[in-house]
Amino acid sequence: MLPSLVILNSPGLSAYVQNSGIIALPHPSEGLPIEVYLNILARCSELGKELTELQFTEELIKALSLGLTDAKIDSGISVLYEMPIDDDGIIRMGIDADTGQAYRGKGTGFEQDILVYEEKSKGNTTIIPRVIAEVKKYGRVTTHDAIVYSYKAECIKRIYPFCRYGMILGGMKTIPGRVLRHGRAFDFILTLAYPFLPEETSEVSQIFLSELETSRLTGSVMKGAKKLRVFRRGIEAKGV
């Protein structure tokens, strides 16, 4: 995919800014007022900056939120990964008594990049995580990342066994083998081009909706609300 091209039109100037950060500008001595030249240069500099993971995540959440009608989606919300019992026999849940939400840090809570969740008012906690996704972009996913986040997935699933956990790799064409090898606790892994392509965001939206339904089904089964005759796990793989 060719890098996008942005054309800035100003009196006496055409500036071309590519995603690679290469900027072509005439010398200020060619008749432009110096303040106009500096303003254009500042705009080019902003356009050339690389998108951060946070910005990527926020844009993706906006796109995914359009398809979620009976659940919420957000970033930066913490969920529990541990509920230790102290030597007085008390479970230390790490839950804020006022909000019912998990504390970030303090040895019991992880903040999530993308969280699809439901809110409950009658339980011990108000946040019920359904689908979680860790976001990595532009090749910045290492073996260490895969190991650490797979371990986090395992910890979270011990507390919320119905929760689905995956990884989204932004700006990558294929899933690296190291992520497949070490991300054994992931329920899904996918790549996503940026700028977003409508067909890909639609596919991601459908995956999230499917994982949400799987989470709800798993919860019903674990509570005994749904009786089963057959239970089978499958795998879906899609090449480039």
Does residue 30 sit in the same domain as residue 138? no
Predicted TM-score (pTM) of this structure = 0.77
Whole-number pLDDT of residue 30:
55
**94-106 burial: b if 16+ Cβ within 10 Å, else e:** bbeeeeebbeeee
Name the pLDDT band for 34 (thresholds 50, 70, 90). low
pLDDT of residue 98 exceeding 70, the answer is yes
The domain of 172 spans 53-223
Residue 107 pLDDT grade (very low, low, confident, very high; cuts 50, 70, 90): low
Whether residue 228 lies inside any domain: the answer is: no
Residue 119: what pLDDT? Answer: 95
Block residue for tokens 């699809």: 116
Please indicate, yes or no, whether residues 66 and 184 belong to a single structural domain of this protein: yes
Q: Which tens digit of pLDDT belongs to each residue from 40-95?
A: 656 555 544 577 899 999 999 999 999 999 999 999 999 999 888 889 998 888 88
Q: Are residues 87 and 15 in the same domain?
A: no
CATH number at residue 81: 3.40.1350.10
With pLDDT > 70 as the criterion, what percentage of the chain qualifies?
78
Q: Is residue 19 located within the same domain as residue 116?
A: no
Tens-place pLDDT, residues 197-224: 999 999 999 999 999 999 999 999 999 8
Distance, CA of 152 to CA of 87 (rounded, Å) = 25
Alpha-carbon span 90 to 109, nearest angstrom: 18
Query: Domain boundary residue among 48, 65, 82?
Result: 48
Contact 110, 81 (CB under 8 A): yes
Q: Are 202 and 190 in contact (CB under 8 A)?
A: no
Residue indicated by tokens 């899609």: 238
